[in-house]
Chains A and B, each alone.
Chain A
């Protein structure tokens, strides 16, 4: 956020965008995630790290309305004020998912319509919230494809004809086009090779800065959180074992597990 904008908006946000308390979900006897509580403030990017099976995706799914938790609260600051997204009606929750929220999947196939053109993929969210002018939708889609560095002559191609990195950038454009207030990402750079990852990260960082995005990003990759996240949450066996400012956690990890995580990555 630029200093000028800070001046123009005098008061700091009065309340969190998302307030999570006592969230838990089990799969039969196995814990998915348990006892998760945190606040996310507007404009903040929260990273969630932890080894495979530690409950990151489960937690993200519960936060984004894709999985039904067993207990807890997920209070989102909606246009009508804070509301528990777990107890609101399905139509209300869907409205959030179409407009205020966005979800970037690890596998672009889960987040894209593979049979629909790139610009149609980006336009879908605009049409879902009522856009009915073809020319405007197309112009907006073309603008967004440009912002994620997809060439203008590819906007009518199907995602199938795109590389993995392009598909992921397309998924990001499709999600950000409606200016969502909260973006969920599950391993946005997973499954891509290193140079492609770096380019995508760079792009994401630019967008996060420009748009002042609020986001929750799940990842294995500490490089991702170092670059994008203001705050960090470390999970193990379904529970949050450490959280704090990203630099603090990475430079001075408290929990033994976090120390291991940090040192193992830094060695690579």
Chain B
């Protein structure tokens, strides 16, 4: 069975063409107004909310048969969520997949940006749980929409102020708010703030899909994205102060892995493809073995 054939039970990439067209219109609007949350009529997908239904719909609307898809969850290609989304598109679109960042034409991600720099030929699709960066302090949607329209963003800094007052530093380490193209304040989805600098001036098209909240937003290639901060508490892209124990990388985002119940632990690249390729190229960390 090949998806898209008249005898296939699915249309190419699961969604019907009218729905894809509707989603593409929202994407185009998002690209035209970087950082602006475009409402769209999110469809029921054969997976629960929280599993990336927004990202999956954006991916479905972007895929063409020639695409090669990579799916990562917290940087890893082999977690349940990433595997099931990859399988979903293998079955419903019959497209090729890959775990190699440089080979992928479209990458769907949950909570990370790949370490390997992206190119103009690539699209990065983010799964977004809560698209509204102002919600924490202003729950009324009517009000947040007005605040965006009027660039009334003082509240965003109140949140950072509270962080510093309470913790001595900006403690927000995920979903760190950004200002897009000197205009809209945007939630970059729960990526670690270590990844924030990669949002800016990125060669790839970046698309964000929130299924339950029915919002799509976008960063066209080479958009200026600035992390909010104070003059005397400037933004810092932090990570564990450690090198990867497997590949020795000092500049990649690390996960802490608990090894036993006696305090044994190691730090490894969260981007599994990045780490694998470094080891293949001969790099070795202090707990790693040569590949």
Contact = CB atoms under 8 A, between A and B. Distances in A.
Interface of A: 90-91, 94, 98, 113, 115-117, 119-120, 123-125, 127-129, 132-135, 137-138, 156
Contacts of A119: 161, 165
B137 A134 contact: no
Interface stretch (B36-44, B211-219, B229-237, B270-278): B229-237
Contact of A127 (B151, B161, B166, B233): B161
Contacts of A129: 154
Contacts of A94: 150, 152
Given A119-B165, A134-B232, 17 more contacts: A94-B152, A113-B158, A116-B137, A116-B162, A120-B161, A123-B158, A124-B154, A127-B158, A132-B230, A132-B231, A133-B230, A134-B230, A134-B231, A134-B233, A135-B232, A138-B165, A156-B165
Contacts of B155: 124, 127-128
Contact of A132 (B137, B157, B164): B157
Contacts of A138: 161, 165
B232 A117 contact: no
Contacts of B165: 117, 119-120, 138, 156
Nearest to B136: A115
A128 B154 CA distance: 4
B230 A125 contact: no
A132 B231 CA distance: 6
A92 to B, nearest CB: 10
Interface string B129-152: 000000001000000000000111
B137 to A, nearest CB: 7
B40 to A, nearest CB: 26
Contacts of B151: 91
Contacts of B232: 133-135
A120 B231 contact: no
Candidate in A117, A119, A120, A125 with the most chain B CB atoms within 10 angstroms: A120
A133 B231 contact: yes
Interface string B217-251: 00000000000001111000000000000000000
Chain A interface mostly helix, strand, loop or mixed? helix
A125 B155 CA distance: 9
Contacts of B233: 134
A117 B137 CA distance: 12
A123 B231 CA distance: 15
A156 B164 contact: no
B168 to A, nearest CB: 11
B164 to A, nearest CB: 6
Contacts of A133: 230-232
A41 to B, nearest CB: 30
20 contacts: A91-B151, A94-B152, A98-B152, A98-B154, A113-B158, A116-B137, A116-B158, A117-B165, A119-B165, A120-B162, A124-B158, A127-B155, A128-B154, A129-B154, A132-B157, A134-B231, A134-B232, A134-B233, A138-B161, A156-B166
A137 B232 CA distance: 11
Contacts of B231: 132-134
A90 B166 contact: no
A127 B150 contact: no
A135 B233 CA distance: 9
Contact of B161 (A90, A91, A98, A137): A137
A90 B151 CA distance: 12
The 8 nearest A-B residue pairs measured at CB = A128-B154, A134-B230, A127-B157, A127-B154, A133-B231, A91-B150, A124-B158, A120-B162
A134 B150 CA distance: 24
A90 B150 contact: yes
B154 A134 contact: no
B154 A117 contact: no
A138 B161 CA distance: 9
Nearest to A126: B154
A120 B157 CA distance: 9
A134 B161 contact: yes
A137 B164 CA distance: 12
A59 B231 CA distance: 42
A128 B230 contact: no
A36 B230 CA distance: 45
B182 to A, nearest CB: 14
Contacts of A137: 161
Interface in B50-101: none
A113 B152 CA distance: 16
A134 B166 CA distance: 13
Nearest to A129: B154
A137 B233 CA distance: 12
